[in-house]
Structure 1
Amino acid sequence: MRLFVGVLLAGLAVAPLGLAGPTPARALEAGVPATEKLTLETGGGPVSLDVEVARDPAMRERGLMYRRYLPENRGMLFDFGHAQTVLMWMKNTYIPLDMIFIARDGKVTHIEENAEPLSEAIISSQGPAFAVLEVNAGVAKKIGLKPGDVADHPLFGR
């Protein structure tokens, strides 16, 4: 489950990964999560990821819960629709994650590295966040991501 602003949430259903290129409609019919491109502009250069975008309450509620694997270049982008203090947790989430909190303009505001699987400890955005990007634990450090770096995706008008 996910928790934000006092409301419990979670991620997206477990689905087979690795099928290449289905359209979003076909992907959903086949149970394969559709992805979109997101680029993180870091001091070390751009890093491209394929992200599932959780735009509605049901998708935000389920997040990455119950999944046992996330490919290295994948993630989930949570769209909260407006900037707010976001509180998350790792209940029912088996994959250790980095949580990247992002402002409306795409700037990274806070990074919570290596969130502990299955933990009910609250993880705060430590200020307003418009979106949260979840990736495998260690990715933020590996790519040298820091607050102030920028996420490039249509959600941020980029």
Structure 2
Amino acid sequence: MKTLISAALLCPALACAQATPPAPQMDLPRATLTIGMHHIDVQLAQTDWQRQVGLMHRRSMPEHEGMLFVFERPGVQCFWMKDTLIPLTAAFVADDGVIVNLADMQPLDENTHCSSRPVRYVLEVNQGWFSQRKLQAGMKLKGLPVSRD
């Protein structure tokens, strides 16, 4: 007679969770945004869970990729870098696509970086992407998803 042993008895939840690092989310819907003559391929984080996980646990990201966080309505959005391993720049973007402000964020830093006014979108890209292209607050992103209001 075979005896089945519960996996929970062999590997308590806490010990197993620590032994296996969480996998980054890589299967989100995608869109292409433009700003001036520049294009960026973004994953769309549209649900609470997708926004909460964001770019956590990634060790790298291709140069012309990023993640666009889409919120149901405009608000002051604040981000931090807990469990995020790569340096990022966050662009806080109003409904009309205008970049309200930019914030450079360091890996694993728990300081918050907030929009200077209510926004519906936040675009995270590799740090330096905006500055290398001389892109700044006041410029307009095109290709944003249509609001669901």
The aligned counterpart of 2:73 is 82
Question: 1:134 aligns to what SS in structure 2?
Answer: strand
Map 1:61-140 to 2 at 5 A. 61-113=52-104, 115-140=105-130
Question: 1:151 aligns to what SS in structure 2?
Answer: coil
Residues 62 and 116 of structure 1: CA distance in aligned 2, closer, same or farther (over 3 Å): same
Q: TM-score, normalised by structure 1?
A: 0.74
Q: Of the two, which has the highest radius of gyration?
A: 2
Alignment of 1:14 with 2:9, yes or no, is no
The aligned counterpart of 2:48 is 57
1:35 is displaced (CA, Å) by 2.2
Aligned residues: 126
Q: Which of these residues, 31, 34, 40, is aligned with residue 36 of structure 1? A: 31
Question: 1:52 aligns to what SS in structure 2?
Answer: strand
Higher relative contact order (CA 8 A, sep 6+): 1
Question: 1:126 aligns to what SS in structure 2?
Answer: coil
Q: Identify unmatched segments of 5+ residues in structure 2.
A: 1-22
Q: Is contact 1:105–1:156 with CA below 8 Å preserved after alignment?
A: no
Q: Identify unmatched segments of 5+ residues in structure 1.
A: 1-12, 16-30
Alignment of 1:141 with 2:131, yes or no, is yes
Higher strand share: 1
1:79 is displaced (CA, Å) by 0.3
Q: Is contact 1:36–1:50 with CA below 8 Å preserved after alignment?
A: yes
The aligned counterpart of 2:8 is none
1:66 is displaced (CA, Å) by 0.5
The aligned counterpart of 1:152 is 142
Q: Is contact 1:102–1:130 with CA below 8 Å preserved after alignment?
A: yes
Question: 1:141 aligns to what SS in structure 2?
Answer: helix
* Structure 1: distance between partners of 2:116 and 2:29: 30
Task: Give the partner amino acid of 2:55.
Answer: L
* Structure 2: distance between partners of 1:111 and 1:120: 17
Percentage of matched positions with identical amino acids: 34
